Structure 1
Amino acid sequence: MIAERLEKATPENWMFPPEEGWTADQVEDLELPFDWELVDGVVVVRGRTVPWHNYVRRRIERHLEDALREPYDVLSEQCVLIDKYNPPVPDIVVYDKRGIDLFEAKYIPVEKAVLIVEVVSPGSRQDDRVRKPAMYAAAGVPYYWRVERGEDNLPEVHEYWLHRERGEYIPCPERPCHVGKLETDRPFPVAIDLTALLKL
């Protein structure tokens, strides 16, 4: 049982997790010919993203980076360690960089995350709308943005704040859905012209 618990996931055995599930350390070196994520100790194939998704993610990350205030930093496609069985890879994470060694860190600890942004794509609708926000809220991440593709193909940003007593997200009271322009002061002031986001 101990040997089973200590083994590493490989391209040959990843689909047969130990009884308790794989841990983040056991899959950290796993290389597979597709994008994947560890969910409750099980390796799960991630839906393929489209250029719209990737372009929007990159542009929002750039705007957040331009608006950063100390002590925050921003990364895209970076594991956030919820627990050893759940290191999700959000599209964008804004985090408190204090105490994190850039050269040694494998993950962003969830207690350091202050804002997580997920850009919804056809293969991630259920995850981005239901599973992941519930998981991030339960872990105490203060703010969550869900970016949807509007009917005009422009991004719409749904802004959520953590209701700490209930342990779940509630829509931002002032403006739950940003269309045309995103303006918020949480976790720091940022303004994004959503109508110009896709201009080449």
Structure 2
Amino acid sequence: MTAEPTGRPTAKSAPEWPVPPREGWTVDDLDTLPGLPPHTELIDGSLVFVSPQLRFHNLMIRLLTNGLVTHVPSTHKVYNEMTVVIDRGNCPEPDVLIVRKEAVRSLTQTSYPVADVLPAVEVVSPDSESRDRDTKPHKYAAAGIEHFWLVEMEGEDHHPVVRVYERDPVTKTYTCTGVHRDRLKLAAPFDIDIDLTEIHEM
């Protein structure tokens, strides 16, 4: 009688996960480790892989990016899902970010220095709630990013909510300065006016 397959991965089929060095991974490893999934982040020397995203996540990134491009002055550039180098062991990837034009060097660069980022935006996903709400904002504030936005989905109609934070220079932590549900209308860091309800038409 032939044995039934167990369904368990064999040594031959199991994925080969990279083994971290004792001191953890560094920023240099993000560009040199073979086979890393797209949008891998580095948090406290550990690699963080991204799960498949909700449609809401994708549309909010597009809505904010398109809206910001029309409002941000020529001294700055808008990008999404690019690595920000905080230090050798921390390289998160905000969903949307604005950087100073001077930080843009070439079409082949893969990251921007944290000192050139203003603001950083995170769209919360089911697999990243703790990182988006706690870990990353603390690191962004400590590293000197003056503005941070947290985007979430609320209600039965899944409408977007954008919570806007500014960094307190004394405590070096973020303070919430507004909660926006229909329109994201701000005077800082730039004059910004984005209709958030457009997500339902995309």
Q: TM-score range by the shorter chain?
A: 0.7 to 0.9
Q: Provide the residue aligned with 1:4 in structure 2.
A: none
With normalisation by structure 2, the TM-score equals 0.86
Q: Is the 8 A contact 1:95 1:113 kept in 2?
A: yes
Uncovered stretches (5+) of structure 1, i.e. residues with no partner: 1-10
Q: Provide the residue aligned with 1:168 in structure 2.
A: 173
Larger radius of gyration: 2
RMSD in angstroms over aligned alpha carbons?
1.7
Structure 2 residue 41 is the aligned partner of structure 1 residue 37: yes
Q: Provide the residue aligned with 1:77 in structure 2.
A: 81
AA of the residue aligned to 1:113: V
AA of the residue aligned to 2:25: W
Q: Provide the residue aligned with 1:6 in structure 2.
A: none
Q: CA deviation at 1:17?
A: 1.2
Uncovered stretches (5+) of structure 2, i.e. residues with no partner: 1-14
Structure 2 residue 24 is the aligned partner of structure 1 residue 21: yes
Q: d(CA) in 2 for partners of 1:71 and 1:20?
A: 38
Per-residue Cα deviation, 1:73-129 (whole angstroms, up to 9, x for no partner): 010010000011111111011011125312453311000001011111111111111
Question: How many residues in Structure 1 have an aligned counterpart in Structure 2?
Answer: 186
* Secondary structure of 1:75's aligned partner: strand
Structure 2 residue 121 is the aligned partner of structure 1 residue 112: no
Q: d(CA) in 2 for partners of 1:105 and 1:35?
A: 14
Per-residue Cα deviation, 1:151-185 (whole angstroms, up to 9, x for no partner): 0211110000010110100011xxx1001111001
* Secondary structure of 1:69's aligned partner: coil
Identity %: 35
AA of the residue aligned to 2:54: V
With normalisation by structure 1, the TM-score equals 0.87
